[in-house]
Structure 1
Amino acid sequence: MLQKPSFTVNQIKRKLEQYCIYQDRCHKEVEQKMKEYKLIPEARELILLDLMKDNFLNEERFAKSFARGKFRIKNWGKQRIVRELKFKDISTYNIKSALKEIDDEEYHTTIYRITENRNAVISESNIHKRKQKLIGFLMRKGFESELIYKVVNEIVSA
């Protein structure tokens, strides 16, 4: 049976610093990573405090970059971003702060653009079924229902 190599607390701390440098992380992700090293609770706390003190781990920064990235790259709506951040145990304050990173004008432009693109590839001639498919798509993306209905009605009726 292969034995996992053992590391000192400082070596684990360096590994976690690299983990946080590579990409912004939330506490939950770092704690999950620490479980792999089977640390005692005192060592976990010490490492977490050091990572926060040295600004390797910053939940507000993580939430903001997460929201910007998921919106710009994956075209997620605010509801999906909020749901995913809550799943990562991000505080309500940090979630609100993260949503401010999304420009309202850019948000509306994006929902119109992805709706038009999706509408162009749907091969449904029945207008009601076409609308239902678009609504379902935008709901999964996490956009607000009032906005979805407004955009779908403007695009499909045109």
Structure 2
Amino acid sequence: MFKKQLTPEQALQRLKQYCAYQERCHAEVVDKLYQLGVWKKEHDAIIATLIEENYLNEERFALAYAGGKYRMKQWGRVKIKYELKQKQVSNYSINKALKQFDEEEYRQTLQKLANDKYALLKGEQYLVRKKKTMDYLIQRGYETDLITAAVNDIIKK
């Protein structure tokens, strides 16, 4: 059973709604084109139209994605950069998105996460507690040098 073939105009309308709902990266739009059953030769024209009409903007996507993951999930720069690379976002857009974070606020967020995790592991031995806290922060995508400084700061207190 085959899906009904959409005309390029129908696909464009669908994708306008898709992009208007939330910011999308180019790779997500290409995947959606395949899902809609649009011929590959028509992809470039549709994507070009979406960009011209400002439905699709990679830089805007990167800023929104990075800001959201940092604010809502408290991810670090390393994880955000990795995820944006997975979505085939350009290095220029990634770097611009990562520059939006206030350095002082970023370090405070890291310190709060470190304090919370360290306090949670109260029953553990000193070295186990330190390692688990550091592993947790690495998994969250924070830079190793900042993690080391934050954990050492907790231990000094």
Kept in 1, the 8 Å contact 2:6–2:38? The answer is no
Identity of aligned residues (%): 39
Please report how far the alpha carbon of residue 38 of structure 1 lies from its aligned counterpart in structure 2 after TM superposition: 2.2
Please report how far the alpha carbon of residue 123 of structure 1 lies from its aligned counterpart in structure 2 after TM superposition: 4.0
Please report how far the alpha carbon of residue 105 of structure 1 lies from its aligned counterpart in structure 2 after TM superposition: 1.1
Kept in 1, the 8 Å contact 2:5–2:38? The answer is no
Q: Structure 1, unaligned stretches of length 5 or more?
A: none
Kept in 1, the 8 Å contact 2:7–2:38? The answer is no
Q: Distance in 1 between matches of 2:101 and 2:122?
A: 32
Whether 1:14 and 2:13 are equivalent positions in the alignment is yes
Please report how far the alpha carbon of residue 83 of structure 1 lies from its aligned counterpart in structure 2 after TM superposition: 0.7
Q: Distance in 2 between matches of 1:35 and 1:127?
A: 53
- 1:72 is matched with 71
- 1:41 is matched with 40
Whether 1:93 and 2:92 are equivalent positions in the alignment is yes
Q: Structure 2, unaligned stretches of length 5 or more?
A: none
For residues 38-61 of structure 1, what are the alpha-carbon distances to aligned partners after superposition, in whole Å with 9 as ceiling and x for unaligned? 222231111100000001000000
- 2:23 is matched with 24
Q: Distance in 2 between matches of 1:6 and 1:49?
A: 21
- Count the aligned residue pairs: 157
Q: What is the TM-score of this pair, normalised by structure 1? A: 0.94
